[in-house]
Amino acid sequence: MAGESDWQHALLRDLGTDAPSRPVLEQSAGATGPESAAPAPPPDHEPAAPAAPPVPRQSHSANLPGPVPQSVPAIDPRLLIALGGPQHGDSLTRRAGAGLRRLASSSGQEVAEQTRLAREVQQPVTTGRVIAVTSIRGGVGKSTVSALLGRTFNHYRHDPVLALEADAALGSLPTRLGAEAVRWSCADIAQILTPAMQLTDVTGYLVPVADGGWLLPASHGRVGAPLDMRTYRTVTLALRRYFGVTVVDCESLPGEVARTAMDTAHVRIVVAPMTAEGVHATRQVLDWLAQLPHAALETTVVVLNTQSADASLDPEVAAGHLRLPGVPVVQLPYDRHLAQGGPIHTDRLSRGAREAAVQLAAEAMRRAVSVR
Ligand SMILES: Nc1ncnc2c1ncn2[C@@H]1O[C@H](COP(=O)(O)OP(=O)(O)OP(=O)(O)O)[C@@H](O)[C@H]1O
Ligand SMILES: [Mg+2]
């Protein structure tokens, strides 16, 4: 696997270090770009000091046909204030109960399972892997699942991770990832990218995510031209060179970009809401995937997402309806913090949501490394 490790070390070197920690992942959120990037830190700065934002080596935005986009807030800050403080995903009673159960039970098996899942998530890749998240309906948790996945990959992996929004309908991915502002969109990047660009050039056009990793929004935060299939293909193909894992938050099926993403991704994640009609419709999507020529089901994972505390559908029956041969169904439980909307704070997630995110990342990565 020497080649794989060389590839990843080359990327880390390009970012200014090849230390096995995540050097670029501790920066504050906010839109960047060649014009707004701060100067690079001196080479011998304190090891504990936070890394400065990367500096693109030259401005490539001259390739843009229109004016250079301005930085705009990802969400009106007044709404974030109105949202109140982040609540914990689990209620206090639940947390106390879980604590007592942990004390009473032997945790050896649990630790072994967590270690196994972490190893799966950390598997090296020879070329960048693209994981597309979609659903047959809107509002069922695609952006939430994409944000959870992006954060999980960042937490466990050492290579750069990108969260790409392929939903121009003013999607919520930037907000879910805690981005303060957005600037460059997929369509801009498609015009700017050239094969000669280094990772540091590219990241100058991306939003650094507070917990680590990078975000490329689909739009400038206002209603505009929808993302088209060609732009999507250009951007994902070009960015795969720089990122070990790209998580794509797609529009809903059967949109053109969503179909392209499902067709071209290494792994497909289909989010199903925990409702009878949602599970029924998602089953139709799986049947469609089963007919695609390149065994798409083998690289598909289903997320059964409970968005309401009042959901009454039997989870076992729902999961059984979606469980086709080789297709795992990961259950994402109802989580009060996720229900709140707004930025996801990993430390506020319920235990169930955290475990589901790691399980999903492991299932996705296992499939991602199995395909060319
Ligand atoms: N596991 C969960 N527990 C509680 N609430 C959830 C959960 N998952 C999602 N939600 C709620 O559902 C809302 C919609 O989720 P999200 O924005 O991720 O859906 P989406 O499929 O991306 O929507 P769109 O089609 O508009 O892009 C979230 O704002 C949140 O309130
Ligand atoms: Mg969304």
Q: Where are the domains of the chain?
A: 73-78+112-368
The best mutation among 133, 140, 144, 274 to test binding of ligand 1, ranked by most ligand atoms within 8 Å of the C-beta, falls on 144
pLDDT tens profile 259-307: 999 999 999 999 999 999 999 999 999 999 998 877 899 999 999 999 9
- For ligand 2, a single-atom ion, the residues with CB < 5 A are 142-143, 171
Mean pLDDT lowest among 18-22, 100-104, 242-246 = 18-22
Question: Any idea of the CA torsion for 102, 107, 110, 111, to the nearest 10 degrees?
Answer: 120
Ligand 1 atom with least separation from CA of 335: 3
The model's pLDDT over 340-351, given as tens digits with 9 standing for 90+, comes to 999 999 999 999
The three-state DSSP-derived secondary structure of the chain is CHHHHHHHHHHHHHCCCCCCCCCCCCCCCCCCCCCCCCCCCCCCCCCCCCCCCCCCCCCCHHHCCCCCCCCEECCCHHHHHHHCCCCCCCCHHHHHHHHHHHHHCCCHHHHHHHHHHHHHHCCCCCCCEEEEEECCCCCCCHHHHHHHHHHHHHHHCCCCEEEEEECCCCCCHHHHCCCCEECCCHHHHHHHCCCCCCHHHHHCCCEECCCCCEEECCCCCCCCCCCCHHHHHHHHHHHCCCCCEEEEEECCCCCHHHHHHHHHCCEEEEEEECCHHHHHHHHHHHHHHHHCCCCHHHHEEEEEECCCCCCCCCHHHHHHHHCCCCCCEEEECCCHHHHCCCCCCHHHCCHHHHHHHHHHHHHHHHHHCCCC
For ligand 1, say whether the CB of 87 is within 6 Å of any of its atoms. Answer: no
* Residue identifier of the C-alpha nearest atom 9 of ligand 1: 141
Q: How confident is the model at residue 121 (pLDDT cuts 50, 70, 90)?
A: very high
Mean pLDDT, rounded, of the chain: 84
Closest residue (by CA) to atom 25 of ligand 1?
138
Q: Which architecture does CATH list for 73-78+112-368?
A: 3-Layer(aba) Sandwich (3.40)
167 lines ligand 1 (CB under 6 A): yes
C-alpha closest to that of 4 among 136, 148, 124, 177: 124
Q: In this structure, which residue's CA is closest to atom 26 in ligand 1?
A: 139
Residue 122 has pLDDT above 60, yes or no: yes
Asked if residue 305 has its Cβ within 6 Å of ligand 1, the reply is yes
Is the model more confident about 6 or about 170?
170
Residue 145: nearest ligand to its CA? 1
Specify the residue with its C-alpha closest to ligand 1, atom 11.
339
Statement: residue 40 has pLDDT above 80: no
Torsion angle, CA of 32/75/175/27, rounded to 10 degrees?
30
